[in-house]
Amino acid sequence: MNKLRFDIPIFRLAVRAASLLSVAAALAGNLAYGGRGDKSGTAAAPELLIPVGAQSIGIGGASLATASGVEALYWNPAGLARAEGGTVVMFSHMSYLAEIGVEYGALSTRLGSIGYVGLAVKSLSVGEIPITTEDQPDGTGGTASPTFLVIGGTFSRQLSDRIFVGVTSNVVYEKMDRVSATGVAFTGGVQYTGLGGVEGLSLGAVVKNVGPRMKYDGSGLLRTADLGDASRGSSPLKIEAASSDLPSTIEIGLGYTVQIAGAARLSVQSAFQNNNYSEDEYRFGGEYIYDNLLSLRAGMTLSPQSSGNEYIYGPSGGIGIHSLLQGADVSVDYAFRWVKYFSGNHVICLNVGF
């Protein structure tokens, strides 16, 4: 039986790293500690909150303390330094809401003793939307295809045998017809393994999407107005778009992995997410892994403070298959997440390591 034992210097370092993340978020002025359901739907760049990766979605997004390798780029950048092997590429597709597709590609590699770096690109496939104006509310006959793009770079490093840290810088770009907006969002995370001297027990903490407010601009905001001066006629005016905060979050999670029945492992995770523009969320999940070949996953997300129609996500599940093919480390993962009012989210993901 494991005895609880704290390695004081290392534990203090982990606590300090997590504390610094929280202080940085507070100084940025973007986070309100406590869910803010009264502000739901008013944040900029909601695509930053769309999850990626079938492994973590399959366990309800509770992988904050256990996510590793390229899968960790979205969930907790500290986990990138826990990658096994060298270079890994990842491709993912999600059928999201109302026939919106989420495409995701990522690459991670090791830079010797310096650490790990990663690059990720996420885009939304929305399709064509009819253009309407104040004068033609039924449509002009034209269409526009919105662009939602997130490009991120990550650096992660192992500080000790138990502590991993990582930071991500995301560039967000949105465009609708003749208006667009660009923003920058920063994420920082830490993972601590062997918590309390218990083998397999991990702690994760992350602050996500801290950055300046976003604001739309472009020729689509220009209007022609009659100022009431007949000698001057109509004059061009520009509508001043409002700026909005990024959807920042503070998240903390625990994970525990234990060896069972020979080659099989069981992993259970939980996470808490504090949102600055919606109610808080709780996530729970579990994964059964047999001989590193087959994984079965299940999870649940809850938002007890949300109204019945506000939080639309529920249970999730998934399966993963892992194999070595001609020297390449290949895994294929699938996840399903139940969604109220819409068809469920289907996620398919391919990872290839070299």
**Residue 32 confidence (pLDDT) above 50:** no
Percentage of the chain with pLDDT > 90? 68
Q: How far apart are CA 190 and CA 234, in angstroms?
A: 58
**Residue 153 confidence (pLDDT) above 80:** yes
Quote the DSSP letter at residue 13.
H
Please write the tens of the pLDDT for every residue from 57-72: 999 999 999 999 999 9
The tokens describing 50, both together, are: 């769309």
Q: What is the pLDDT of residue 4?
A: 39
Please write the tens of the pLDDT for every residue from 4-20: 344 444 445 444 444 44
Mean pLDDT of 289-308: 92
Please write the tens of the pLDDT for every residue from 187-205: 999 999 999 999 999 999 9
Quote the DSSP letter at residue 136.
-
Q: Output the DSSP codes for 302-354.
A: E-TTS-TTT--EEEEEEEEEEEEETTEEEEEEEEEEEESSSPPEEEEEEEEE-
The tokens describing 216, both together, are: 């739309």
Please write the tens of the pLDDT for every residue from 340-354: 989 999 999 999 998
Q: Which of 1-5, 78-82, 105-109, 328-332 has the lowest mean pLDDT?
A: 1-5
Nearest to 148 by CA among 124, 167, 119: 124
Q: How far apart are CA 321 and CA 156, in angstroms?
A: 26
**Residue 238 confidence (pLDDT) above 90:** no
Q: What is the pLDDT of residue 22?
A: 45
- DSSP SS3 for 198: coil
| Cβ-based neighbour number of residue 67 at 10 Å | 32
Q: What is the pLDDT of residue 210?
A: 97
Please write the tens of the pLDDT for every residue from 162-176: 999 999 999 999 999
Q: How far is CA 31 from the centre of its chain?
A: 17
Average pLDDT value for the chain:
88
Confidence of residue 269 (pLDDT cuts 50, 70, 90): very high
Confidence of residue 136 (pLDDT cuts 50, 70, 90): confident
Confidence of residue 306 (pLDDT cuts 50, 70, 90): confident
Domains identified in the chain and CATH numbers: 8-134+141-353 (2.40.160.40)
Q: What is the pLDDT of residue 267?
A: 96
- Region of 164 (left: φ > 0; alpha: ψ -120 to 50; beta: rest) is beta
Confidence of residue 36 (pLDDT cuts 50, 70, 90): low
Handedness of CA 96, 100, 101, 106 (dihedral sign): negative
Going by their DSSP bridges, the two strands 163-176 and 129-130 should be labelled as unpaired
The tokens describing 62, both together, are: 């509770």
Which residue type does 172 have?
V
Percentage of the chain with pLDDT > 70? 86
Please write the tens of the pLDDT for every residue from 205-217: 999 999 999 999 9
Q: What is the pLDDT of residue 344?
A: 94
User: CA gyration radius for the chain?
Assistant: 22
Mean pLDDT of 99-111: 96
Quote the DSSP letter at residue 141.
S
Mean pLDDT of 263-279: 94
Confidence of residue 21 (pLDDT cuts 50, 70, 90): very low
Confidence of residue 223 (pLDDT cuts 50, 70, 90): confident
Q: What is the pLDDT of residue 309?
A: 74
Nearest to 166 by CA among 183, 188, 181: 188
Q: How far is CA 345 from the centre of its chain?
A: 15
Q: What is the pLDDT of residue 187?
A: 98
Q: How far is CA 91 from the centre of its chain?
A: 15
Mean pLDDT of 311-337: 94
Q: How far apart are CA 183 and CA 181, in angstroms?
A: 7
Q: How far apart are CA 26 and CA 20, in angstroms?
A: 10
Nearest to 122 by CA among 100, 146, 141, 106: 106
Mean pLDDT of 290-299: 96
Q: What is the pLDDT of residue 224?
A: 79
Confidence of residue 261 (pLDDT cuts 50, 70, 90): confident
